[in-house]
Copies of this chain bind each other. A is one copy, B any other.
């Protein structure tokens, strides 16, 4: 393969480096208006009364729309494929604007004006009178009996689920040691570089056209149709360049309202780009979870049972809802074997910003719990934590008892060996560094992560390839380039499958649901595998058609031909017979046989390969301040074959950056009385910047996954997953203190150190 496996430059590198890539906020359409949203100043209750007259009177205001003006039906927002089974559809609990307030920042009204400043000014002139209720800001409060319901009839419980395999009671008895733990994760925000935004207009034929920064153009199209109550075919979603999503744009957050607003102003374009504050509050956050774990082990370290009770805080609206903790539950059973396992879960509504998809989709929470817990077990047994994991790993070829996913390739044991070697595990683990103000420790954690959502959900990929007259191809995909590099990876796959140089693969930098084939989009680390499968199949079909035509042109049987570097060649000798451009010209212009060569593939992928990996980290804890410095960090991945090493490295570096923020710094905070978000900006909400970011190394143990288009497995989300527990475990190693609540802020660690005294025994 000429391109897969090599670090070809991103196909959008030049556009982005020169500032010519067009993002939503760059879009300026003739006559475009600007919208701003009025958000609630309470977290729970109702709007009793609203007066928009003064706002409407401001020159330049074109429309003021409130909850009174929007359709009465509700719609869902989650970026899942639609389900034919009504019971499996996402919960439709949103109005475009709402009178009922469910979190501080709920959307009450919108102003459309000739510019942003006028729209902002008009917001200030809207008078709202509320009927306020005390907000329910945590799961305990929300689940107390007699508590008012955030969504009527729910008891504030969005959904419950559970499973168990094996005989837990028997396994309980077989355990020599039983270990319990309770792990708590916080609310964080994806903080994509680009805020959420959309521009909507009616096209001359009366269809709604929405330019939006989304991970899910085709799903977004459906949701807009649902929200407006119009046929989905009358909606066209155009995705320009996207400045990151990380799951936050796997919801239709701003698009339905932008689409509605253009219909209010006669189809004039309306731009609705959220300010950063609105993006923090009004889009999607990661579910906070409380995870209670109980495990039994034999003296030799083998697990007899594992029980997890997980509560997931969903915030105000359903969005992805219970699917997140449900995935936590699946991951819970997929890394380690045990005689029995039980999982119980509940997703709870609270009067906080809505939680949805975010990189890892339930994995960072559950892996923080289970991998912290593994160290707790190792500590209880006096066993090396790596060894404990090694002896409990599922064997290669293991089949999940529920979803039947097979661990085709599973190089986690090799990842552990590599990580141990890289960080110098044994030496650092046994070195006594128990004294002094700065204490060092090493820790690690593992993860597994699926590639796509099969079998929990539908996995359809699609690609269309058209051979141009010059032997180049147009590659159209429904997969969404959101900065992660999918256009590049898919171009690499196409170029190799076709046997042409990658600069002869033209992929549109802008995606359009009216033209691109249907693919649900960028989530679940699925695109290179699922969409890549469609691209490869389409490329193979085009190649076969080229070779068929070349057979006529050369007199050599198609089966003896191949394509290499833009030439039809003899498969064996490699001799060049005819350039692809000549075959292409023949396909367009041969008077007898002209028929353009193209393939349009829609494939239903029914496999799912688990990616694996681990984080090894050395920390230094300043016992006087509670600050944690990362000295060395290695993320070792089994993500199958790496399609583009530099792009893969980028995924790991970015994932670790998010993982370290999750471990140490990041948390969205709410005022305990009002529910207002206290830090909805990048000054007060601390993400790790380039200055803060430590030296991190990525390693790839390349296995060859047979179910994937080029041996590849998930890599978009995995790098974040095992970072926080590895850091937590290293701090445990350095200080003997278990911090089981994220983030492990200096404050939290300082008080824990103070409570325990300053000289503490190191863990073994």
Q: Which A residues contact B (CB, under 8 angstroms)?
A: 11-12, 14-16, 18, 20-22, 26, 28, 30, 81-84, 203-207, 222, 225, 231-234, 267, 458, 460, 462, 464, 466, 468-474, 476, 504, 506, 508-509, 512, 514-515, 517-518, 585-586, 588-596, 598, 600, 602-604
Contacts and interface: CB of A to CB of B under 8 A. Distances in A.
A506 B84 contact: no
B517 A470 contact: no
A208 to B, nearest CB: 12
Number of copies: 2
B458 A594 contact: yes
With a 10 A CB-CB cut-off, give which of A82, A204, A598 has the most chain B CB atoms.
A204
Given A11-B205, A206-B14, A472-B231, A589 B517 contact: no
Contact of A233 (B15, B470, B517): B470
Contacts of A26: 30
A232 B515 CA distance: 21
23 contacts: A12-B205, A15-B203, A15-B205, A20-B204, A22-B204, A28-B30, A82-B589, A84-B585, A84-B589, A84-B591, A205-B506, A233-B468, A233-B469, A233-B470, A234-B506, A460-B594, A460-B595, A476-B515, A508-B514, A508-B515, A517-B598, A518-B588, A600-B600
A234 B476 CA distance: 15
B504 A233 contact: yes
A661 B90 CA distance: 65
B517 A472 contact: no
Q: Which of A225, A466, A506, A600 has the most CB of B within 10 A?
A: A466
A469 B508 contact: no
Given A21-B204, A509-B203, A589-B81, A596 B466 contact: no
Contacts of A515: 474, 476, 508, 512, 515
For the complex of A and B, the 5 pairs showing the least CB-CB separation, nearest first, are: A15-B204, A233-B472, A233-B468, A231-B470, A596-B602
Given A14-B205, A222-B469, 15 more contacts: A14-B204, A15-B205, A22-B204, A204-B509, A231-B472, A231-B504, A233-B469, A234-B470, A460-B588, A474-B514, A506-B514, A508-B514, A515-B515, A518-B596, A593-B604
Nearest to A207: B506
Contacts of A222: 469
Contacts of A206: 14
Given A84-B590, A222-B469, A594-B458, A600 B204 contact: no
A82 B596 contact: no
B600 A506 contact: no
Given A21-B204, A204-B20, A232-B469, A602 B595 contact: yes
Contacts of A588: 81-82, 460, 518
Contacts of A22: 204
Contacts of A596: 460, 462, 517-518, 602
Given A11-B205, A204-B14, A207-B506, A83 B598 contact: no
Contacts of A464: 600
Given A15-B204, A83-B589, A458-B591, A470 B600 contact: no
A645 to B, nearest CB: 22
A602 B593 contact: no
